[in-house]
Amino acid sequence: MTASDALWRFTDTDEPDSVTLIVETPAGTHVRRIPPAMPLPADVEPGIGAEQAAHTAAATWGLPDFVFQSVLTRKGSGQRELGDRLLLSGKRGAVVQIKSRTVRPKGDTEERTWIQKVTKKAMSQAKGTVRMLRLQPADMVNGRGTTLSVAGDAYEWMAVSLPDHDHVPDETVPAFEPIGMPALTLTRRDWDFLFDQLRSTTAVLDYLFRVAGEPLIALGDEPVRYYELAAADAAAPPEDIDTELVGPGGRHFSTPLLPQVPAGSGQTNTHLVIRAVLEDVATSMLRDGVAESDRLGVLADLDRLPVGMREEWGQLLLDMLDDVQQAPDGHVKWRSRRQLHEEADGHRQMLFMCGTRFDKYVEASFGSYVMLRHHQVGERTGRPASLCSVGVLLTPNHSGKRPWDTTLVKILGPSNLTPEQVSEFEGLWPQSSNA
């Protein structure tokens, strides 16, 4: 049975603008209702409203730090707008062009012609935005209200065209000439679906780059394609990895890149723990005056935690926080989990730890733990220069204002630890398990 053989789609008769997918998987049947796109704000004209609605979806279900507003830049004697919105995470960026149908729909032929026309225009504008950013960086403001100098050569780019149209004719497949980078057309409903399904800007960007190389499909069918790819991911054998790279006790975990179950659809909301940690890191680094490029780099590193693992990791962090508070007075108890995965540009290690309390001793001990595990993995992989380790420490907060405090350490490249320091840290953090 192919993925498409196990997938049914039908329109909800009670709400014609909604689509329901029924997906048969080895784990059971999933029913996914795809609602209409987020309503447009009533106090602005439709074009601006469509841009704001697309921004809101990305900033609400992803992180606002990764969504950037358009900016005007000079071109000759005039000005040019750089994108309607930009998504930036890590080394990837998407120029998003949103076109709104502001007149009453006509016949299917006329509407297909309009969609084709605005798609070509959107792709040309996206290409021009990237060209301008490569010629001269531009200061752009994100959904957190912070400013980043965006240089075109710092990112791998793609174009996304979002026609805002309430009644896309069936089997409408907008075509466009190659523009020198990956490109894709989605409806706003498709856009909202992806962010609601994955709840991660980085995961959405990875998906968009993945399907931009696939054959064109009809507008509105993106959820169908998503579930076909998710079924293929679930059936694919896990990649082989040497668990000894993390040391004794390392275990092999595998999760599909595209989860079939929407993020946060479990019986608890423990996936929100990871989102809360991301918010903590985002705001605390702002208070600490960290350079914006560094702050966004750390957030992108953390946002790479696979979507399919976030529910489990969120529950684990809550359990560890509860456990470390049971330590006797005057003692510190530690609990930790870490993950190592390989990417095209090297290995990435993520370390989450919970401690009984926070003080200078605990902070220094946590820093030594991250440095040591970074050093050890770099030695084992033989590629210390391409290793990135991000450590997050959660400690209970008893003020009543928040459940925990968050501390972060990031190390990139060789650790430069001396043999004496390695010996000292190994005495503090013996590796009898995968901690």
pLDDT recorded at residue 3: 41
Mean pLDDT, range 262-284, rounded to an integer: 86
Q: Total domain count for the chain?
A: 2
Mean pLDDT, range 318-335, rounded to an integer: 95
Tell me which of 429 and 235 has the higher pLDDT. 429
Please state, in angstroms and as integers, the Cα–Cα distance from residue 322 to each residue in 304, 368, 395, following that order. 26, 23, 10
Report phi then psi at 97, rounded to 5: -115, 125
Tell me which of 23 and 51 has the higher pLDDT. 51
Asked if residue 215 belongs to a domain, the reply is yes
Asked if residue 73 belongs to a domain, the reply is yes
For residue 163, pLDDT beyond 90:
yes
Q: What is the pLDDT of residues 290-324, one digit of tens each?
A: 999 999 999 999 999 999 899 999 999 999 999 99
Cα 110 from chain centroid (whole Å): 37
Query: Do 364 and 395 belong together in one domain?
Result: yes
Asked if residue 17 belongs to a domain, the reply is no
pLDDT recorded at residue 97: 96
Mean pLDDT, range 266-295, rounded to an integer: 90
pLDDT recorded at residue 11: 53
pLDDT class of 64 with cuts at 50, 70, 90:
very high
pLDDT recorded at residue 82: 83
pLDDT recorded at residue 74: 67
Query: Do 48 and 134 belong together in one domain?
Result: yes
Query: Do 210 and 272 belong together in one domain?
Result: no
Query: Do 277 and 218 belong together in one domain?
Result: no
For residue 256, pLDDT beyond 60:
yes
Query: Do 58 and 97 belong together in one domain?
Result: yes
pLDDT recorded at residue 13: 46
Query: Do 102 and 211 belong together in one domain?
Result: yes
- Domain termination site, one of 213, 235, 257: 235
Tell me which of 95 and 14 has the higher pLDDT. 95
- Cβ(376)–Cβ(247) under 8 Å? yes
| CA within 13 Å, CB half, 327 | 17
Strand order in the sheet with 334-343: 334-343, 346-355, 388-396, 404-412
Asked if residue 4 belongs to a domain, the reply is no
Query: Do 56 and 152 belong together in one domain?
Result: yes
Asked if residue 256 belongs to a domain, the reply is yes
Residue 295 CB coordination number (10 Å): 22
- Domain termination site, one of 199, 218, 235: 235
For residue 431, pLDDT beyond 80:
no
Asked if residue 171 belongs to a domain, the reply is yes
pLDDT class of 96 with cuts at 50, 70, 90:
very high
Query: Do 54 and 116 belong together in one domain?
Result: yes
pLDDT class of 27 with cuts at 50, 70, 90:
low
Asked if residue 104 belongs to a domain, the reply is yes
pLDDT class of 434 with cuts at 50, 70, 90:
low
Whose CA is closest to 185, among 213, 164, 220, 160?
160
pLDDT recorded at residue 7: 57
Query: Do 280 and 407 belong together in one domain?
Result: yes
Greatest mean pLDDT among 20-24, 195-199, 247-251: 195-199
Mean pLDDT, range 269-285, rounded to an integer: 92
Q: What is the pLDDT of residues 389-422, one digit of tens each?
A: 999 999 999 888 889 999 999 999 999 999 999 9
| CA within 13 Å, CB half, 290 | 19
For residue 12, pLDDT beyond 70:
no
pLDDT recorded at residue 271: 85
Measured N-to-C along each axis, helices 419-428 and 360-381 cross at an angle, to the nearest 10 degrees, of 120
Asked if residue 57 belongs to a domain, the reply is yes
The residue range of the domain holding 51 is 38-235
Query: Do 58 and 190 belong together in one domain?
Result: yes
For residue 5, pLDDT beyond 50:
no
Tell me which of 9 and 287 has the higher pLDDT. 287
For residue 39, pLDDT beyond 70:
yes
Q: Which of 37-51, 351-365, 368-382 bottoms out in mean pLDDT, i.e. has the lowest?
A: 37-51
Mean pLDDT, range 311-339, rounded to an integer: 94
DSSP designation for 305:
S
Query: Do 347 and 372 belong together in one domain?
Result: yes
Query: Do 277 and 294 belong together in one domain?
Result: yes
- Domain termination site, one of 235, 258, 293: 235
pLDDT recorded at residue 17: 66
Q: What is the pLDDT of residues 104-153, one digit of tens each?
A: 878 899 999 999 999 999 999 999 999 999 999 999 999 999 999 999 99
The DSSP line for 182-210 is: -EEE--HHHHHHHHHHH--HHHHHHHHHH
